[in-house]
A and B are shown apart, each in its own frame.
Chain A
Amino acid sequence: MDVLLAQTLDEALEMKAANPEALPIAGGTDVMVELNFDLRRPEVMIDICRLPELRAWGREDGAFFLGAGMTYARIMRELADLTPLAQASRTVGSPQIRNRGTVGGNLGTGSPAGDALPVLAAYDAEIVLASASRTRTLRWDEFHVGPKKTALEPEELILGARWRSVRGPGSFSKIGTRNAMVISVVGLCLVMDEDARAVRVALGSVGPTVLRASDAEAFVAEALERSGTWDEPAADLAADAMEGFAERVAAAARPIDDVRGSAAYRRHGCSVLARRALGWALASRREGIRT
């Protein structure tokens, strides 16, 4: 095995072009488990954890760019105003894991349980990919094509994710067996888009990839229109609208039974988190908090 230590993005992309089968490693919180347990023996690895281009974030022209090398600890410290993303980061592993683990790792591993992924889906993020010859972007749902399957080409590296900034409250919530070191049984991100008068809901751990609950989104946006809540945050949503929303979110899930939970429990969990997340969002609008 060879380990190549890249110092800049250009250098890393050249290494990847010369060794398309090389496995990139950043925080190592997924990759090293596979190495330690002899599940994977790549011939070449490229260390990308020092690339400044990947460790960056920034805003430009109404868009936000999150570098693939941003650790969950840094997101919590530096990007606390991106509430759903900071909340999701806070639920990842333990302090030790959050100091190393990166959003790029969630993207590259492609587990539907990756905690950052429902947030990127609710933000309608595009994933930025680069090779030595070109840079391209894919929508989040074009990038993840199945459980642990991505559309990444062999010579490419993940640069990060980019999305149009959204004005409105939002949250990430997760069901697991304890408050730390837990792989989610259900994860849900809800984002309200005040300008488009839309609600976006993404689900993790309840399907082969992260899923959006499109029917539920359309249903609740219309219900909020009917009750006048978009214009007047104090106007109550119709009594049955919350229930209708929760049912439709649960219906969007495509869960399976596995060691962490049954499909039925996961579906139920979706409806519980949906009610809570919508309740929190409406409450913060009533209180005038526009995160």
Chain B
Amino acid sequence: MLIRAKVNGEWREADVWPGSNLLYVLREEMELPGSKNACEQGECGSCSVWLDGELVCSCLVLAAQAQGREVRTVEGLAGTDQLHPVQRAFVEAGAVQCGFCTPGLIVAVTDLLERDPAPSEPVVREALSGNLCRCTGYVKILDAVWLAAERMREGAS
């Protein structure tokens, strides 16, 4: 089945088995391996992307359902020579250990801060409740959220 979707601003095509999920198409057919494949059941959030602007687990989207839609992945965040403020904050706060959960968390944090530039801690914890990290214990991830939020507010003003 030929799938055509606007991925990170560019129309892309892939000819795949119709039962494929969107994550497979991004990683294996479109050379976008940033989104990670871990649980394949929506538990871990490591495959988080935006579908028409909404945060979703790409492993739970049937690729055919992305037909004609806009997909934004973690690869779409950084500029050509500069990291996105959320990516930079993760590096500087030490929020990355093994790194497997990082792309999903970066996407989820960016989704939150684009909607709510100054979230409270309960709001942050709720917004990230669908992203599992087995290394950090989340403390430094929260530090990265505060750092990124501050920088994005400064950048916007």
Contact = CB atoms under 8 A, between A and B. Distances in A.
Interface in B60-81: 60-62, 64-65, 67
B99 interface: no
A28 B126 CA distance: 22
A76 B41 CA distance: 23
B65 A96 contact: no
B61 A32 contact: yes
B57 A96 contact: yes
Interface in A87-136: 93-97, 99-100
B42 A29 contact: yes
Interface string B18-57: 1101000000000000000000111101001000001111
B11 interface: no
A37 B42 contact: no
Contact of A97 (B18, B19, B21, B42): B42
Contact of B129 (A25, A36, A94): A94
Given A1-B19, A36-B21, A180 B61 contact: no
B67 A32 contact: no
A28 B65 contact: yes
Interface string B65-104: 1010000000000000000000000000000000000000
A262 interface: no
Given A5-B64, A32-B59, A95-B55, A37 B129 contact: no
B130 A45 contact: no
A188 interface: no
B18 A100 contact: no
Interface string A34-48: 011100010001010
Contacts of A47: 62, 64-65
B21 A35 contact: yes
Contacts of A45: 18-19, 62, 64
Interface in B100-114: 108, 111
Contacts of B57: 29, 96-97, 100
A104 to B, nearest CB: 15
A100 B61 contact: yes
B41 A5 contact: no
Contacts of B60: 27-29, 32-33, 96-97, 100
A96 B156 CA distance: 26
B130 A96 contact: yes
Given A29-B60, A37-B40, A1 B55 contact: no
Given A5-B64, A28-B60, A32-B62, 9 more contacts: A3-B64, A28-B61, A28-B62, A32-B59, A32-B61, A41-B19, A96-B108, A97-B42, A100-B61
9 contacts: A3-B62, A31-B62, A32-B21, A32-B62, A36-B41, A37-B41, A45-B64, A93-B130, A97-B57
Which 8 pairs from chain A and chain B are nearest by CB? A94-B130, A180-B129, A3-B64, A36-B40, A3-B18, A32-B60, A33-B41, A96-B130
